[in-house]
């Protein structure tokens, strides 16, 4: 069995047969001078163009390469999650497999992680080599995500990141949430940094990104915002909305009741009566949804033993105090 690696490089690939050989060469050229034991964990996300065969050949030549094959194309988030589950290093570095991320930046990311005492260092494609059809939506998305999550980064879409293993082990990713790793990790109280990295144009293969992904990212943003702000207290959100709608409906109904009892005005045909009743019933529904959500959250955490906190350090176990020596008495003869 090979020695446990210090670095785990996790790279999901899908139909990148033209790039994997050069990717391995560049990774080797960047990682060997670091003098740290490492592994390259390549996750084949259901490729159909011969990528797997080329990866198996590389794995046969280099024992530091491990190939994890998924049964079908599950998507980049699932591929990253699979890589995290099988990574053995103390530091996990993520990257794309299309050679647009530069492996030469990996030592710089790791050094920043170690020297700055950070838990997560994200790459920033400051000079991004992509068409405007990608850069413009990404510019708006980065600002929207930063505003919604409170974690201000210039480039949420850059896959090049260095993460401490204890952070990775607590990540649970779904949908398109791999781009929200800094926001999800920030809930654990981790320290996040960002640094510029080199970005290169794609020269071989086809891009797997399109405008259709923007809609999915926005929907996942709603999920991330909800889980971050109300994941352990959903009744605060739904209950607050219920109080607003219920209070407004109750106020409208009280006003109409006053008109009927003291002003002797007909209220049966007023649209305001329907609006007040609808607002009041909506408020009750929000309160009930909040109670149900609260019960589901409690069942989730208690049935699976999920803690509502994350421990960074534990105090050393208390050592029992030595018993005082007793004075020996020599029995008389």
How many degrees, rounded to 5, is the angle at CA 31 between CA 171 and CA 168?
5
pLDDT confidence of residue 333: 47
Looking at beta carbons, which pairs linking 66-73 to residues 24 or more positions away fall under 8 Å?
Answer: 66/39, 66/40, 66/41, 66/42, 67/42, 68/41, 68/42, 68/43, 68/44, 69/44, 70/43, 70/44, 70/45, 70/46, 71/46, 72/46, 73/14, 73/45, 73/46
* Sheet with 192-196, side-by-side order of all strands: 65-69, 38-44, 7-13, 91-94, 161-164, 120-124, 192-196
Phi and psi of 8, rounded to 5°? -120, 120
Establish how many alpha carbons lie within 13 A of residue 237's alpha carbon, considering only the half-sphere containing its beta carbon. Answer: 14
Task: Collapse the DSSP code of 137 into the 3-class scheme (helix H, G, I; strand E, B; otherwise coil) and give the result.
Answer: helix
Q: How far apart are CA 138 and CA 155, in angstroms?
A: 8
Judged against a pLDDT cut of 70, whether residue 197 lies above it is answered with yes
Task: Write down the pLDDT at residue 26.
Answer: 95
Helix runs in 5-98, H state only? 20-31, 51-61, 76-86
Kindly report whether the global pTM for this prediction surpasses the value 0.85: no
Kindly indicate the confidence band of residue 49, based on its pLDDT and cuts at 50, 70 and 90: confident
pLDDT tens digit sequence for 131-179:
887 888 888 888 888 888 888 898 988 899 999 999 998 888 877 778 8
Determine the distance from the C-alpha atom of residue 80 to the mean position of all C-alpha atoms in its chain, rounded to a whole number. 10
* Average pLDDT, rounded, for the chain: 85
Tens of pLDDT, residue by residue over 276-315, are 999 999 999 999 998 998 888 888 767 766 666 666 666 6
More confident residue, 284 or 3: 284
Indicate the range of 84-93, 102-111, 306-315 predicted with least confidence.
306-315
Element containing residue 167 per DSSP (H, E)? helix 165-168
**What are the backbone angles phi and psi of residue 12, rounded to the nearest 5°?**
-80, 140
Give the pLDDT of residue 1: 43
Rounded mean pLDDT, 27-53: 93
What would the pLDDT profile of 57-88 be if each residue is shown by its tens digit?
Answer: 999 999 999 999 999 999 888 999 999 999 99
Strand partners, 34: none
pLDDT digits (tens, 9 = 90+) for 13-39: 999 899 999 999 999 999 999 999 999
**Pairing, β 91-94 against β 161-164:** antiparallel
Using one digit for the tens of pLDDT, what is the confidence trace for 206-239?
766 655 666 777 777 887 778 777 777 888 889 9
């Amino acid at each position: 069995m090979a020695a446990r690696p210090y670095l785990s490089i996790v790279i999901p690939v899908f139909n990148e047969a033209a790039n994997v050989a050069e990717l391995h060469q560049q990774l080797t050229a960047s990682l060997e001078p670091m003098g740290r034991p490492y592994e390259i964990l390549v996750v084949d996300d259901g490729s159909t163009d011969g990528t797997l065969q080329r990866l198996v050949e590389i794995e046969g030549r280099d024992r530091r390469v491990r190939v994890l094959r998924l049964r079908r194309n599950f998507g980049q988030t699932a591929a990253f999650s699979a890589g995290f589950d099988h990574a053995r290093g103390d530091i996990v570095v993520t990257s794309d497999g299309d050679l647009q991320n530069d492996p030469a930046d990996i030592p710089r990311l790791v050094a920043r992680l170690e020297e700055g005492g950070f838990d997560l260092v994200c790459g920033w494609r400051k000079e991004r080599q992509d068409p405007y059809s990608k850069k413009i939506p990404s510019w708006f998305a980065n600002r929207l995500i930063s505003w919604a999550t409170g974690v201000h980064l210039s480039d949420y879409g850059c896959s090049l990141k260095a993460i401490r293993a204890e952070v990775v082990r607590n990540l649970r990713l779904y949908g398109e949430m791999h781009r929200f790793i800094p926001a999800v990790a920030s809930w654990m109280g981790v320290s996040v940094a960002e640094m510029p990295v080199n970005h290169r144009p794609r020269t071989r293969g086809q891009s797997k990104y399109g405008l259709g992904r923007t809609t999915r990212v926005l929907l996942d943003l709603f999920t991330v915002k909800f889980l971050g702000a109300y994941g352990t207290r959903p009744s605060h959100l739904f209950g607050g909305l219920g109080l607003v709608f219920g209070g407004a409906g109750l106020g409208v109904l009280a006003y109409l009741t006053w008109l009927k009892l003291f002003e002797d005005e007909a209220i049966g045909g007023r649209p305001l009566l329907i609006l007040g009743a609808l607002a009041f019933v909506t408020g009750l529904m929000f309160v009930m949804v909040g109670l149900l959500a609260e019960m589901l959250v409690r069942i989730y955490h208690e049935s699976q033993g999920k803690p509502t906190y994350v421990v960074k350090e534990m105090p050393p176990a208390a050592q029992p105090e030595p018993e005082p020596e007793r004075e020996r008495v020599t029995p008389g003869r």
